[in-house]
Amino acid sequence: MSDTYHEEATEGQFEDEVHERHSSGGMFSSEEVSSMTSAQFTEVMRDAGRKQKGRPERFALVGQDRQGTKLGNEDWINEGYGSALENVGDVYNRMTSAPSFPADENAVWSPSGKTAQAVAHLQPLADGFKVIESWTGGYHKRREAVNWIPTDEEREWGKGYSEAHAQLPVYTPVQHLANRSAIHLGYHQFGQAMENLGTMRQMEIDHGKANPDRRRGGPVNPDTNYNRLMSQPASVEFLRSQGR
């Protein structure tokens, strides 16, 4: 295909082009993205999100089991770290999968809700403690320190996780936040990971406040930072700022 994408290109042809480009480690340029239709840009974003389900996710799921078997220890990786790897990495995928992407030109990009779950798994590592809730004659909360010194194997595994996420195609500022959070997490930089994910989560909260009736089929307000920074114009600007 040429650098300019036209509506007359069939949907199947364009999907094949997108898949081939991303699978080879390539990305679309700011010029290419600027000439796409809304539907084509959405497909680019969806395919980018699907790429997280490959090698990056294997480090958080299948890889844990295989590495544990290799080491002769099924619980080789810290439970809290392992769950954070899975949930934080999955944010990148969920933010571009159904029903998060716009259904048509008049729709908006909507948060998936996965970020809140990821924050809950990452927060104890960033804070250095987790909150234990219990009921024994009354409701109680207490802090329990996260006393964990990563092993060499865990550090090496985290590095592979980070490197795999660094290869994902990133097109928007919000995608960038999700991706950087996963990369920092793999390198055990929990504060930086939380900072990126927390910024994204606040955008989602603000988006929800601006669209209180969205789940009941009410009117949609597109004027939110989340929607703007996931949009095609924001993608073009972001790519240009990266020299792409």
Residue 1, domain member (yes or no): no
Query: H helices of 138-220, where?
Result: 152-166, 173-186, 190-210
The model carries a pTM of 0.85
Contact criterion met (CB below 8 Å) for 173 and 232: no
Residue 142, domain member (yes or no): yes
Buried-exposed string 153-184: b where 16+ CB fall within 10 A, e elsewhere:
ebeebbebbbebbeebbbbbbbbbbbbbbbbb
Contact criterion met (CB below 8 Å) for 227 and 207: yes
User: And the tokens for 167?
Assistant: 């290869």
Cis peptide before 99 (omega within 30 of 0): yes
Contact criterion met (CB below 8 Å) for 86 and 118: no
Residue 41: which H helix or E strand, with range? Answer: helix 38-50
- In angstroms, the CA 199 to CA 114 distance is 14
Counting the structural domains of the chain, the total is 1
Residue 197, domain member (yes or no): yes
pLDDT at 153: 81
Residue 194, domain member (yes or no): yes
Q: Helix (H, G, I), strand (E, B), or coil: what is residue 213?
A: coil
127 contact partners, CB below 8 Å, separation of at least 6: 146
- In angstroms, the CA 177 to CA 183 distance is 10
- In angstroms, the CA 189 to CA 145 distance is 18
User: And the tokens for 181?
Assistant: 């959070």
Residue 33, domain member (yes or no): no
- In angstroms, the CA 145 to CA 94 distance is 31
pLDDT tens per residue across all 244 residues of the chain:
344 555 555 778 899 999 999 999 999 999 999 999 999 999 999 999 999 988 888 877 755 555 555 554 555 556 778 888 889 999 999 998 877 888 777 778 888 888 999 999 899 888 887 766 666 666 666 677 777 788 888 888 889 999 999 999 999 999 999 999 999 999 999 999 999 999 999 999 999 899 887 666 677 788 899 999 999 999 999 999 999 9
- In angstroms, the CA 33 to CA 241 distance is 14
Residue 6, domain member (yes or no): no
- In angstroms, the CA 101 to CA 109 distance is 5
Residue 36, domain member (yes or no): no
pLDDT at 135: 64
Q: What's the domain range around 136?
A: 50-241
Residue 39, domain member (yes or no): no
In the chain, the largest separation of any two C-alpha atoms, in whole Å, equals: 70
